[in-house]
Copies of this chain bind each other. A is one copy, B any other.
């Protein structure tokens, strides 16, 4: 038995990719199950959807919330894939705002069920170990806070308000989005445009009150990218 310790046993590595793939597969199954049976699916349902029995699921996820967390992360991925570029892109301010807002709306429009599951999600049971939604919001908010802060500093204004501003913006877009998703009484374009207008006016107002006249049609300061 006294085997000399050598490099990692290839038998361990063999599955490295496989496990990831399997998890992804179950995440998909969960999403499918949610779409089919509503947001209160159980582990049994998910397993069935994947054509498998519970214990298999539990080999890949320690826990129900672990699974849900993974679903949340998948959603985050979808979200960030579209929002990242929009946040990073430079350009005329008005248009830039519009694009960020629209990126968000497009994601929830394309995945309404997933979206609802994740945010209104039955993060039942035990403590809310990790709240993906909150994390995403915080991430976006802090990115915005940086952009806004840079902005204000570029005009030599007090940047202390950037953080509440950012969180306010996030909540604003999210809630307007929720409303819109439920009763789609206006086109996405309209809403994006409308929200962008509001936001732009608020920013403009702040700048004005600092004695600065900004042009909504022109790109501003070069800005750092998301990291």
Interface residues of A (CB under 8 A from B): 38, 40, 120, 122-128, 131, 137, 141, 161, 163-165, 167-176, 178-180, 185-186, 191, 194-195, 197-202, 204-206, 208-209
Contacts and interface: CB of A to CB of B under 8 A. Distances in A.
Given A120-B128, A171-B178, A201-B208, 13 more contacts: A40-B125, A122-B124, A124-B125, A163-B179, A164-B180, A165-B194, A168-B172, A168-B175, A197-B209, A198-B206, A201-B201, A201-B202, A204-B205
A201 B206 contact: yes
A72 to B, nearest CB: 15
A44 to B, nearest CB: 16
A171 B161 contact: no
A120 B199 CA distance: 27
A208 B216 CA distance: 15
B120 A195 contact: no
A174 B176 contact: no
Nearest to A171: B175
B201 A204 contact: yes
Contacts of A122: 123-125
Contacts of A173: 168, 171
Contacts of A125: 40, 122, 124
Nearest to A202: B202
A89 to B, nearest CB: 23
Contact of A167 (B126, B176, B201, B205): B176
A128 B38 CA distance: 11
Contacts of A167: 175-176, 178-179
Nearest first, the 5 A-B pairs at minimum CB distance are A171-B175, A201-B205, A172-B172, A167-B179, A168-B176
Contacts of A172: 168-169, 171-172, 175
